[in-house]
Structure 1
Amino acid sequence: MAIIGVCAAATSYLLVRNEASDFLDNQLRQIALYVGETRSSPATGPDSGAPHDPEDDFVIQVWDVAGKPLRLSHPDVDIPRQQATGFADISTARENWRVYTLATSNRTVQVSQDMSVRQELAASAALQAALPIIVLLPLSLLTLSWIIDRIMARLNRLAVTVASRDARADDPVPIDDVPAEIVPFVSSINLVLARLRALLERQRRFISDAAHELRTPLSALQIQIDNLRHDDRDRRFSQRLTELEAGIARATGLVGKLLRLARYDAQETAPAPQPIDLVQLALDTVARLTPLAESREIDLGITRQDEAIAIGALADFEVILDNLVENAVQYTPPSGTVDVAVIVAGQDARIEIRDTGPGIAEEEMPRVFERFFRARPQDSEGSGLGLAIAKAAAERQGARLTLAMREDGPGLVASLVVRTTLLSVPA
């Protein structure tokens, strides 16, 4: 701004000097023309060809005591003679004049100047005063914008870094390239992240330790039930043992799911990727869950088998499909159907599980992947962890898992979309 101010001042100085020089030079010229008793005029004088603005010319009028004109520099301009010495504003048919009259004992001298000359000078002075400001404003905005961009560039990079962080990332935000004024704020964020990381780590350890601790007594109870079943002779007692065994099985399943979820939360390294035949994966899943479907009188089968090969961890894909198909079987009423299909579209393969169950209410759909959330009906068997585990496994394998209501009737459609490869399955 100092540089701009200096340049503006120098420009104004040059403009005003040139304007004043032209105006004062014309005054010198006119004084030279009107001095003495000769009757020269600006139009007929010896320098009548000198460049000048005619509007800047003075109108000189001289009368004797009797009122007889002695000199008229511009005979075509009729400005009335004033009687008293002083300044006056006179208007004629064409112009407005500023007049100075000097009345003496032997003559009257009257000098007039067009008022437009003064207006031009005022307008020129105003423009020259405003021009530096007019130039300074946009240049100042551009300069200020450039300065702010330079200063805030590091802060913008920090914002991009924070915005692009994965939701599960818990490492500190780097402060190497952070403006000094923002370092305390970023340090506070890192402190909060450290506390959150410690809290999540304690939670993971608690779930893992609790699952490990519960597995041992549950296994011992199962062994004791097996021993009692071999020794018992009372049929009613055997029925109670069966109910107790079912409860222990459910508790064991819940502990296993908690342990698996804790491992996903801990972001353990996934098993080595390998080619997976998705059709064979679907067949194996259906085979494993067919006894459960038959016990509930559910028609479980495969309706489409497009050849598709994916690269990933087989254990994770088995967890995903087992949970999806088991959920479909659990929520489908007796005599219903659960259809599994492997569909290839371009570079993607989609495994669909369609059931004829009650589906999920629209207002509950956003919460289906939450832990321990169970959609209506609440009386169905399940822990509310299956879909959460399937979602975590799908994210680890880079697959996309979605749920939607069927369009061709009641029921739900669970879709697992994975990227396929051109590898062929060995014979």
Structure 2
Amino acid sequence: MNSLRRRLFVMLLLCFLAFWGLWVGVFGAFFRHEGTGLWDNSLLTHAQEIVQFMPKDYQLLAIAPVTGLSAKTWMRDDMSYQVWVDGRLLIRSPGAPEVPLKPDFRDGFVRRPVQGEPWRIYAFSDKARHIQVQVGKPQSDYETIYLWLAGVTLTSLVLMMGLLGLAVRWGIRWSLAPVMTLSKTMQSRAPLDLTPLPAATLPAELRPLLDAFNDQLVQLDRAVQAERRFIVDAAHELRTPMAVLSANAQVALHTTNVMQKDASLRQLLAGVERSARLSEQLLDLARLDATRHARPRVPVDLAELITIVIGDFDILVQQNNQRIVLQIEPTHIVGDVDELGILMRNLLDNATRYGGKGACIEVACGHDADGTARLRIADDGPGVPPEERERIFDRFYRVAGTDQRGSGIGLSLAARIAQSHGARIEMGAGVGMRGLGITVLFGAA
């Protein structure tokens, strides 16, 4: 049974039936007990009433009728009675047997067979013990009343079950109406409409589920937006390099001048390298968007990691006649190894690219006195004007007047990774108060 509505309906009806059955059982036991008491009290009251209105001279009973008793007392058809005077039956109700209902003539209650049928009998005598009234009725009369009450109860149960079923069905339908409305809202949405669903009218019990679903929608929307940004960024950034590569290839293909052909090929090679670097940064950007909140953070030694990253730049540093000065010590933080590697690689790429030929690049990491982890990469190149330093972390922003052509993605990637690690970036002068120095400050591990 996969329907929540049917489950609630069946569960409520079963609970009602269980409680109703328990109540009927308790009521039946109570009625059997108390009903017998009420019946006995009726027999006792009737016997005492007959004795009370007997004449003081009991001998007159043989020659005079009993006066003072109502016809309701004498002519009752719900029980039988006998009036015995000194062992002789003088008066009996219609249908009462001629033999004593209680042969031992002792006052009190007794259950005994009369004419082959069980009876409940009560005997009561006057003070002089000359007159005794015996009152009784068949046990079958009580069973008839009990069965009648049981039939009325079961009939009421069936009617109440029907009414309750309709009420429960309507109540469940009314309670789940917001869910059905929400379902229709979702079906009418556009395929890529990932805005959170409204929860104002939803029952409180279902709001945690909707909140979790909305969280998933938000994450999915971020992923879709990231994918869209990646496509736009890739198209934007690859359009110009591809055009330049095509132009250089056309020149190299059609020229007959060897020197011009070599120059075109060198430009073509540089363009390929820039395109490869751009593709790598775009992939890093896509990877960063895709793995946000998905990868666990682990202990990382910045000194060990920066040493590995620097090894990837050995050939480039040698070609540019640059040198890297290390001032590192074990610096432990908690973070994502891959993301921190991207951050370091982009900061080093920026320093080697814009530091220029023969540049000195300082790489340092360590802990401050307050436990803050510090990573600093600085160069002694032309640097960045102070008024433009904040903007170099914007995506696709390039400083005007530089010889090197960059994508404007690397530093924006570094800034995003620093932000995701709860770190802040400071900028200032580089080596020997020249160039640019970028410092990333991480919280204590």
For the superposition of Structure 1 and Structure 2, which TM-score range results when normalised by the shorter chain? Answer: 0.3 to 0.5
Give the helix-richer structure, 1 or 2: 2
Q: Structure 1 length normalisation: TM-score?
A: 0.45
